[in-house]
Structure 1
Amino acid sequence: MPISEETFFLDPRFEGTLQSQIQQLVAEGILSGRFQPGEKLPSSRKLANHLGVSRITVTLAYNELIADDYLTSAGRSGYYVSHSAPPPPEIPQNRSNDTVDWARAIGQSYSNVRQVDKPSGWGGFPYPFVYGQADPTLFDQQNWRLCALQALGKKDFTSLTGDFADRDDPQLVEFIARHTLPRRGILARPEEILITVGAQNALWITAQLLLGQRRKAVFENPCYPGLREVLGQTRCHLSPVDVDEKGLDPEKLPSDLDVLFATPSHQCPTTATMPIERRRALLEKARADDFLIVEDDYEFEMSFLTTASPALKSLDEDGRVIYVGSFSKSLFPGLRLGYLVGSETFIREARGLRATILRHLPGHIQRTAAYFLSRGHYDALVRRIRLALHERREVMDRAIRTQGLEIAGAAQFGGSSYWMATPPGVNIDEKVEALRKRGVLIEPGMPFFEDAEDGRGYFRLAYSSIPASRINDGIRILAEELRS
């Protein structure tokens, strides 16, 4: 890649000739690693015009760098960084003197949050029991590419390049309203739908609008770690409530809460499904105690054993339920495409808040997704994923029982993971690294709990990204480590 002349600037405080300063600029770029061997330098004419110096000055500087083996000349082709130039030091020296007391300057820290580790090279492990990653053998990359190419066409120029302020792609919103939501028993108008950057962004917007220092939020324990951190940012009063084998029990809720965050269809991470009786009791309690419910309905498409239960939002007659949906689990997590469904008044405020931080999602992403969904590719993909997950679940279920491992939770409708319990006295945190060395990736339970110590006896075992043929060996190694 050619190096632009615009990366060079002369320092009027430099004590020396222009030629020596140009030499130093090039040498520093090479020694810092910014200029790589084989990259082309600006021509002497271009660099001279940019710096406002004579061309002979630049030429002389380049010749000195050639003599020192920093550069090489290729006749009329130009000047290039030499492949035998001095390599950058292993530890580049920091020329800045950072004297800022960042501990005092930063008002609130976000870097020490507890999150589920997602190894960047998970695909290179033979037994990746990691949750929520796309399986390249299942995803319909060809049709996604075709939809993306069409969204780049002249017909969609406005959706590709336009600034929609706080609006969303009408084709995507229409598909969600007419096809996605009715499958969950939900009827909504476009004015009641907002596109978000995945479910995480939807939860953040909701928390920012509904919570404050004088309000109380209740959330499930254990729960999605990202939710707990989002709620903490509002500085509201937090009240975790333990779940059981049927999910959240309405009878355990405090009477003075303002907002409840729940995953009734597929509790995260235990995978428990809340029975219809509990859902109706929860809505009655919300009406009696006058609180709102934020329903995270992730992974409902992965129902291959039984039909997924109706969404809590579909039973809501008072408008108390705010619904959070996402395509990140069923399409691919890097898409970061989710949506909020609520009353028109709430969505209007949510749209205004979103506009202050990112206005709207990229138009090309929205239109590509709209094409992929509306042309039937999405439904075909979901069917293919369901079949694969069904097979993998059966293999994993047999392997788990053969090895004598304990299942703490498994979604009744299907899903893509098991919530596992360790043998008595085993700290899963101490086993993670040993398993990784043997090619097995699992997700320890500590990040999901309010008190991390409560999660040391649990872990999540997903089967969405591992071929069925590798599951038996992976479970065998896992069982060996847990017994050792």
Structure 2
Amino acid sequence: AETARPIAPAASASAWERSFAIQPSRLRHISKPADWHRYPFPFLFGQTDPSLFPTREWRESARATSSVGGVSLWASDRIDEDDPKLIEQLRAQVLPQRGIWARPEEVMITLGAQQALSLVIRLFTGPSTVFGIEDPCYPDARHMAALLTPHLRLLRMDRHGAVADETLAGCDVVMLTPARQCPTTVAMPLERQLEVLRVASGRGTVVIEDDYDGGLFDEGRASGCLRSHDPRVIHIGSFSKLIAPGLRIGYVVAPARVIEELRAVRRLELRHPPLNNQRTLANFIALGHYRAHRHRLGSVMVERARLIDRSLANDLPELLCRRTPGSTGAWLELPSHLTAAAVTARARRDGVLIEPGDVFFADPGVQRSHLRLGFTSIPADRIEAGISTLARLLHDAPSRADSRDRPPADHPARIRTAHPGA
């Protein structure tokens, strides 16, 4: 039998590149090894400890979803609608914990916060839109906006978060992380939140709020969100930090007219997230497992936070360390003669996984001495040994540097510790 002959020779990679309208693969992004769980000291932000997953409770919820009666409720195509039970459970048990009260038509389910960000940014951003974003910030959000408009404005930051100044006032859209600024962990105080909302309201600026950790735990200090003060704020949340990143279920809370358009945009991509996953999560919440798991996880995170704070203070007192109470990560500033890229590479060889901070800045050449250290993925009994290992390699670094890289004689010898509000 004859075989089909190709009409033309296969195109080279460079030929394809000439046809691409965009090349997002060239953008800088957060990178984590796929086998991170094999490392003894995974100080990675946003990953979860598998031992904490509520296996029995999730299995019970999934069993109810897979029953004969349950399947009939989710197996059909709902076009652009979500599982009404999940919407109701969000409204009744999840959102009120963040001070948010919403009607069913003001909530939409997404494939994680990532899709929520993409849909919202696309809806409000065009070629002439002036888009304001924190610097440093979550890099993917910055890239999403930059692909749609050349008018990106970097919002000025201080110890209270984004500053409500003329830059913010000059934006059509702003994206903020007020509860726990990404990546510095700064919690925006109420006074600043109200000031930001006042400035945005006066200008007609659209405010997008990424509540990425959902107030996972508060250590005695609850974090507020902008949506609880102003129903015009577009609020984005996720279950990734609480249950598992692989669940890929997030949500948007916004005025009904906004949700109507977001559903239309989402329909062009995938109609709706899988309804079986939505119903399983709805059952998980309705059966009381969400509340119990949140309480249990909060207790675990409080203990890990205590170990992180103590270990950093004891082993790395020379670093400027910031971790706002309730944050599951710490933002570290290295001495000027060290670069985050070199430190993270060496740390990885020693079994310690940490994240370089330069990717969070719009200009990677300006800030190259920051690290982000998370503790949701590392068991409590490994934290002290992991910080001790990191401290050893940092303290050895000057002896390996050449004379040009050595710190000056007047370089601060001891570390400063940044307290919340300092």
Q: When the two structures are superposed, what TM-score results if normalisation uses the length of structure 1?
A: 0.78
Moved more, 325-334 or 252-261: 252-261
1:271 deviation in Å? 0.5
Separation (CA, whole Å) in 2 of partners of 1:181 and 1:244: 29
Task: Find the counterpart in structure 1 of residue 24 from structure 2.
Answer: 110
**Residue aligning to 1:411:** 324
Cα distance in structure 2, aligned partners of 1:390 and 1:451: 34
- In 2: Cα distance, 1:465 partner to 1:286 partner: 37
Q: Deviations over 1:346-404 (max 9, x none)?
A: 10000000001010000110000001111111111111111111111111111111112
Q: Which moved more, 1:143-152 or 1:435-444?
A: 143-152
Change (3 A) 1:99 1:474: closer
CA distance in 2, matches of 1:475, 1:428: 16
Assess, with a 3 A threshold, how the Cα gap between structure 1 residues 473 and 313 changes in structure 2: closer, same or farther: same
Higher relative contact order, chain-length normalized (CA < 8 Å, sep 6+): 2
* CA distance, structure 2, for counterparts of residue 457 and residue 395 of structure 1: 24
1:449 to 349, 358, 361: 361
CA drift of 1:252 comes to 5.3
**Structure 1: runs of 5 or more not aligned:** 1-10, 15-95
| Letter aligned with residue 353 of structure 2 | L
Code of the aligned partner of 1:300: G
Within-5 A mapping of 1:46-445: 97-99=10-12, 101-251=15-165, 253-316=167-230, 319-403=231-315, 404-412=317-325, 414-445=326-357
What code does the residue aligned with 1:473 have? A
Query: Could you tell me whether the CA contact under 8 Å between 2:169 and 2:200 is conserved in 1?
Result: no
Deviation at 1:301, TM superposition (A): 3.1
Contact 1:302-1:382 within 8 A present in 2 as well: yes
TM-score (norm 2): 0.89
Distance 1:252 1:332 in 2: 39
Alignment correspondent of 1:62 = none
**Cα offset for 1:246?**
1.1
Q: How far 1:189 moved relative to its partner?
A: 0.5
Aligned residues: 391
CA gap 1:255/1:311 in 2 versus in 1, 3 angstroms: closer
Matched, 1:12 2:12: no
Does the 8 A contact of 1:133 with 1:464 survive in 2? yes
The SS at the match of 2:295 is helix
| Counterparts of 2:338 and 2:256, CA distance in 1 | 50
Asked whether the equivalents of residues 407 and 420 of structure 1 are also in contact (C-alpha less than 8 Å), the reply is yes
Deviation at 1:405, TM superposition (A): 4.3
Task: Tell whether the 8 Å contact from 1:265 to 1:308 is kept in structure 2 after alignment.
Answer: no
In the alignment, is the contact (CA less than 8 A) between 1:422 and 1:428 conserved in 2?
yes
Kept in 2, the 8 Å contact 1:448–1:455? The answer is no
The equivalent of 1:34 in structure 2 is none
- Distance in 2, Cα, partners of 1:296 & 1:146: 31
User: Which one of the candidate residues 446, 459, 481 is aligned to 2:371?
Assistant: 459
Cα RMSD, aligned residues only = 1.7
Equivalent AA in structure 2 for residue 109 of structure 1: Q
SS at match of 2:47: coil
| Aligned-pair CA distance for 1:255 | 3.1
8 Å CA contact retained: 2:102, 2:253: yes
Letter in structure 2 aligned against 1:475:
I
Q: Percent identity?
A: 37
Q: 2:117 is paired with a residue of what secondary structure?
A: helix
Do 1:198 and 1:327's aligned partners in 2 also have CA atoms closer than 8 Å? Answer: yes
Distance of 1:401 and 1:385 partners within structure 2? 24
- How many Å apart are 1:159 and its aligned residue? 3.5
Cα-to-partner distance string for 1:429-460 (whole Å, 9 max, x where unaligned)? 01222111110000100111101123311011
Q: Distance in 2 between matches of 1:436 and 1:254?
A: 39
Q: Deviations over 1:60-116 (max 9, x none)?
A: xxxxxxxxxxxxxxxxxxxxxxxxxxxxxxxxxxxx733571121111111112111
**In structure 2, C-alpha distance between the alignment counterparts of 1:407 and 1:302, rounded to whole Å:** 24
> Which of structure 1's runs of 4+ aligned residues deviate more than 6 A?
none
DSSP 3-state at the match of 2:162 = coil
**How far apart, in 2, do the equivalents of 1:407 and 1:468 lie?**
23
Contact 1:447 1:455 in 2 (8 A): no
User: Matched residue of 1:250: which SS?
Assistant: coil
* C-alpha displacement of 1:424: 2.5
Q: How many Å separate the matches in 2 of 1:398 and 1:254?
A: 37
Deviates more, 1:434-443 or 1:467-476: 467-476
Q: Aligned with 1:482: secondary structure?
A: helix
Deviates more, 1:212-221 or 1:302-311: 302-311
Larger radius of gyration: 1
